[in-house]
Amino acid sequence: MISALTILEIAKICKGKLIENSPESEINQIVIDSRQAFSPSKSLFVALTGAKAKGTDFIAGLIQRGVRNFLVPTTYLPTDTKANFIQVENPHKALQDLAAVLRSRFTGPVIGITGSNGKTIVKEWLGQLLSQEFTVAKSPKSYNSQVGVPLSVFEINPYHQVAILEAGISKGGEMESLERIIRPELGILTNIGSAHDAGFSDRLSKLREKLSLFKDSKFLIYCKDQGIVSKEIEYLFPSEKLISWSDQPGSDFTRAIKFKEDENRILLIKKDLSTLTFRTQLRDAASLENIIHAIVAALTLGLSPQSIQRGIEQLRPVDMRLTLKAGLRDCLLIDDTYNHDLAGLRVALDFIQQQRPKRRKILILSDFLQQGKPEWIYSEAAQLIRNHQLDLVLGVGRELSLLAESGVQNLYTWERTEDLLANLREFKLENDLILITGARPFGLEKVVQQLQQRIHGTTLEINLNALTHNFNFYRRLLKPETKVMVMVKAFAYGGGAPEIANHIQTMGADYLAVAFTDEGVALRQQGIHLPIMVLNPLEESFASCLEYRLEPVVFSPEFFENLAKWTKAHSETMKVHLDLDTGMHRLGFEKQHLEELKGLIQENPQLQVTSLFTHLAAADESEEKKYTLQQLEDFKEMAAALLPLLPLKPLLHALNSAGIVTFPDFQFDMVRLGIGLYGVEVTGNYSSDLLPISKLKTTVSQVKTLPSGATIGYSRRGKLPKGGKIATLPIGYADGYDRRFSNGQGYVLINEKKAPVIGNVCMDMVMVDVSKIQVEAGDEAIIYGAEIPLAPLAKKIGTIPYELLTHISSRVKRIYFLD
């Protein structure tokens, strides 16, 4: 924090009622996550209410850990006399009020960044450029929301000279509160696109909302080539405030790019015709746009072109994100090698705490470069490391010995990354959780490369933030008391069950469901502790269900009898779920079985009925609404017949993803969230509210130029009558790329252009027509993702998104990240 606050000051800022124990308590840490209160006596816990949890539920545990200062809603009545409590009408607004005051105490320049795309990358790259001459504070990761912005402000410390804050909005009216906090001297609008269009009446309204961030800024940087952006900005703001760049003459900076094989040159021609030249490895249009925003901002803040060039040489054209990767010998790697400051380290260490248990927690890091006074930086870093109880710390650099002076144990350091790499084997890394984070000059990505499991050229990227967004979207549609069971069958719809199940567990789901017992066993072996329902258990798996605390679905009188006999023979009890067939006609007890089922329940108290449920056959089909409503009424009737026989009331559940949005009056006790969590809204009514969580991508293996009349692939199905170019990609039907995409039925995106499939999809490869695209070997090809939605792809070949998701084979490596 930029300065400490007393509890009396905080109460005054928030206009709250102080119920005090120690009015002079001084606060230097403000947290909303109970796990992050690392300095208990100096922390203020702000009790926010989330989609699943209430902050006030954690107060008792925090008091036991020594926390003594709390900001709570007026509805919470404190009973503990050992702590200070500030009661406010709206803790969320109070959090923003505190951030606004702390921001006002920072005297250095603040840069505010907003736009539809590129905010985080521009922020990170500008931070790299400015760090050549300044100590920079910046928003961690994508902390740009109504809560994220205040948390970013709390990361600004007295030694920082410049702050870069990112602002993101999803609907009208949100920017006002963010502007009140950020109040940027220098603003950057990246661009305006389709993201979050649903939250605004039109694109112009969204643009005006975003521009309100800069109403009191001294300067605003923008690209003049976006017509709607340029016109609106030049209408709303005085010309002396504007700094524009364009590929056409007439702006403050006119851009020209000279592409070369080894590196590209960016020429920025100023109005006086003087020219600045920068060298870069960046090639794609989006990255070149983002770096111009960063360069122009750095120039505006007084950096010399020479300093900017040094910073550019440290940039990488990669996504700015925290990535989870499979390592050798069953290790799990967290790759944070693009980022290395204290705010980012805090986020990364919190992320490591959320992962499933491994043998050891290990941190590999480098010196903190140009972050401020070493004694301050390493003292704070040491506290973070100690608080997260790491088992081993490996470091590269000359300053990391300061961590040992601040009490970090099991610390080993080397001056060069090569020396670290040469000594890694000594630490017998196996079944360990390893966070790798470092400043760019140290090249710690080499460590990731050495420790990472060798991966097939095709990867499936899973965005855990998008998963959280989708979970919270459905959570908001539910009553507070309604529980959520998440379906992670079929390898979590292709996404990878252990990591997704672990993330779901941290989000606050109540139950998991798998199709077969071995799926549940695998989750238990990976440290998943949520209750797990098994939809289709086999009789030979009864022992595994008992051993791994799995709860089988019982769907017929015969199966009930067999499980009852087994549990009696072994003198065991078991939780079970009863499947009631109301019209799916797949598995389940029908009405005609009810009398027999009643007898079986009464005769077998060792089988504890935990839930009663039914499957809706057509919740996503509007023309079948009457049928679905009849199913739900039948379910209520069948459940009512069984409930009097059960000593404990079981959970009732019927709604799947489609049912949650279509039949909200039938939530019962729990809902089952499946395909919607993974970004597919099957009713079509809320598609814009969900985010795709996965991107399947590969790289171009080879590009061939073929003469007229050439044929491509097996059976010579692909034809180029006039000749052309093809690119071969290392993905085929053995990876899950459906053979029905052959001969132009499917396409991929390469360099943002469509490349149709030509010829038959092979087992391990597919060829695409790139005759009209500039393509080189090594270029990325997107198979599906936000740019190529699953639903239309599936429709083109006569299937459903479920099939495309679940057919992605296990040899395609899953990479998980937080953006």
489: annotated active-site residue: yes
Least Cα distance to 658 among 535, 489, 474 occurs for 474
Residue 784 designated active-site: no
Is the distance from CB of 76 to CB of 60 less than 8 angstroms? no
Q: How far apart are CA 675 and CA 690, in angstroms?
A: 11
Measure the CA–CA gap between 550 and 548, rounded to whole angstroms: 6
Asked whether the beta carbons of 163 and 147 are under 8 A apart, the reply is no
For the chain, first and last CA: distance in Å? 24
> CA 757, CA 761: separation in Å to the nearest integer?
8
CA separation for the pair 408, 401 (Å, rounded): 9
DSSP code per residue over 671-725 = EEE-GGGGT--TTSSSGGGS---EEEEEE--EEEEE-TTEEESGGG-EEETT-EE
Beta bridge partners of 486: 512, 673
Which residue is catalytic, options 218, 714, 722, 772?
Answer: 714
DSSP per residue over 141-207, as a string?
TT--STTHHHHHHHT--TT-SEEEEE---SSTT-HHHHHHHH--SEEEE----STTGGGSSSHHHHH
What SS3 state is found at 464? helix
Catalytic residue among 361, 489, 697, 725: 489
330 Rama class: left (phi>0) / alpha (psi -120 to 50) / beta: left
Positive or negative torsion for Cα 486, 489, 495, 499? positive
Across the strands, what pairs with 88? 73
The residue whose two tokens read 């073929």 is 706
Q: How far is CA 400 from CA 343, 365, 374, 393, 633, in A?
A: 18, 9, 10, 10, 66
**DSSP conformation letters of 86-132:** EEES-HHHHHHHHHHHHHHT--S-EEEEE-SS-HHHHHHHHHHHHTT
Residue 406's alpha-carbon distances to 396, 400, 403, in angstroms, are: 17, 10, 5
Residues labelled as active-site residues: 489, 714
